[in-house]
Amino acid sequence: MRGEGAVRSVLAGVGGYLPPAVVTNDDLAARLDTSDAWIVERTGIRERRIAAEGVLASDLGAEAARAALADAGLGPEAVDGIVLATSTPDQTYPATAVRIQAKLGIRRGFAFDVAAVCTGFIYALAVADAMIRTGHGSTVLVVGAEVNSRILDWTDRATCVLFGDGAGAVVLRAGEAGPGGSGPGLLSTHLHADGSYADLLYVDGGPGVSGTSGHVRMNGREVFRHAVAKLSAVVDEALAANGLDHAAVDWLVPHQANLRIIEAVAKKLRLPMERVVVTVDRHANTSGASIPLALAEAKADGRLKPGQLVLMEAIGGGLTWGAALLRL
């Protein structure tokens, strides 16, 4: 736990952006051997958004960042740095974060990408928090932006039905912990990786292995098994690190990959589904963008209130997994 007077990263604003085109399960069933019933039963997904040709992760990310800055009541001149979670960058380099920076008209501070696939936003949050607490800046944009549609094999029904495009962003600002560690801010972040599982979920291309961008490949059943076990363990780790009980959690804001995984973790936490933010039915899996998109939705509809405790968790390719506890 971070004590009284310590610098803390406080959530100042949240925003999301989804490309307008909706693709339903029936749309996919019209061109693939799948069905709405199979997809809904196995995943809870009903539809996803797909970016138009030529629209890049930086376009989606810049929109989400603008919305988060507006929510925080800040202009781009306040931003000291950008940390972007993405696995679908505009180009191999420069970092897509600098494209977002340029689109926002910012010409100072730091900007870089974090590649931790579906755990990317938790990793980016941890990195931004560390940058703030070590004095690299006091206002940092943390963005998750993905155009998963560009790396899907649209003939592989086992993967292409699962993902969508979108972006979310938060503004973190330096604040100070109150007496006994009270007050708003990120309480802790918990990051894990085990590369021995790298081949369970990967993209079969890239400048090193093929010179092409490649396609998503996944052993879904194995990833599912790891997801429930590792997410259950990491949420316990986050609560224990702060001396908190499951009952203290107001909102679980999980990575949105599969409703069955989300329900299993909620059950482990003894949290009713009314206290879980779910967007997977409408967004599908937007990888690094799913948690900030869910936060943006819950903030916009008034569910998130000052003083509440938010538990975030994610798992993805790597395998990477992690959790973060945030007091609003």
Q: Is 69 in the site for ligand UT7 (CB under 6 A)?
A: no
Query: What span, in angstroms and rounded, lies between the C-alpha atoms of 19 and 105?
Result: 22
Q: Which residue has the tokens 């009314």?
A: 274
Q: CB 19 → ligand UT7: shortest distance, Å?
A: 19
Q: Is 291 in the site for ligand UT7 (CB under 6 A)?
A: no
For residue 171, what are the contacts with CB-CB under 8 A and spacing of at least 6?
Answer: 11, 12, 13, 14, 68, 69, 71, 72, 74, 139, 140, 141, 142
Sign of CA dihedral 5, 6, 7, 9: negative
Q: CB 139 → ligand UT7: shortest distance, Å?
A: 30
Query: What span, in angstroms and rounded, lies between the C-alpha atoms of 303 and 308?
Result: 10
At position 267, the amino acid (one-letter code) is: K
One of 64, 67, 118, 142 touching ligand UT7 (CB under 6 A): 118
Q: Is 223 in the site for ligand UT7 (CB under 6 A)?
A: yes
Q: Which is nearer to ligand UT7, 257 or 312 (CB)?
A: 257
Residues annotated as catalytic are: 118, 255, 285
Question: Which one of the spans 10-18, 33-41, 245-253, 273-281 is the region binding ligand UT7 (CB under 6 A)?
Answer: 33-41
One of 311, 315, 323, 324 touching ligand UT7 (CB under 6 A): 315
Q: Under DSSP, is residue 272 helix (H, G, I), strand (E, B) or coil?
A: coil
One of 54, 221, 272, 302 touching ligand UT7 (CB under 6 A): 221
Which residue spans within the chain are E strands per DSSP?
7-17, 22-24, 47-49, 81-85, 110-114, 139-147, 165-176, 185-193, 201-203, 216-218, 251-254, 309-316, 320-327
Supply 130's token pair: 């560390």
Q: Is 45 in the site for ligand UT7 (CB under 6 A)?
A: no
Q: CB 200 → ligand UT7: shortest distance, Å?
A: 9
Query: What span, in angstroms and rounded, lies between the C-alpha atoms of 98 and 143?
Result: 12
Q: Is 220 in the site for ligand UT7 (CB under 6 A)?
A: yes
For residue 196, what are the contacts with CB-CB under 8 A and spacing of at least 6?
Answer: none
Question: Which one of the spans 34-42, 99-107, 209-217, 294-302 is the region binding ligand UT7 (CB under 6 A)?
Answer: 34-42
Supply 49's token pair: 């958004």
Which of 79, 213, 74 lies closest to 143, judged by CA?
A: 79
Q: Is 161 in the site for ligand UT7 (CB under 6 A)?
A: yes
One of 9, 43, 101, 139 touching ligand UT7 (CB under 6 A): 43
Q: Is 103 in the site for ligand UT7 (CB under 6 A)?
A: no
Question: Which one of the spans 8-16, 67-75, 105-113, 157-165 is the region binding ligand UT7 (CB under 6 A)?
Answer: 157-165
The residue with its CB nearest to ligand UT7 is 220
Query: What span, in angstroms and rounded, lies between the C-alpha atoms of 286 and 292?
Result: 10
Q: Is 124 in the site for ligand UT7 (CB under 6 A)?
A: no
Q: Is 158 in the site for ligand UT7 (CB under 6 A)?
A: yes
Q: Is 196 exposed, middle or buried (0-12, 13-18, 19+ CB in 10 A)?
A: exposed
Region 178-217 residues binding ligand UT7, contact defined as CB under 6 A: 201
One of 19, 81, 164, 316 touching ligand UT7 (CB under 6 A): 316
> Assign residue 55 a region: left if phi > 0, alpha if psi is -120 to 50, beta otherwise?
beta
Tell me which residues touch ligand UT7 (CB under 6 A).
34, 38-39, 42-43, 118, 157-158, 161-162, 201, 220-221, 223-224, 227, 257-258, 261, 285, 315-316
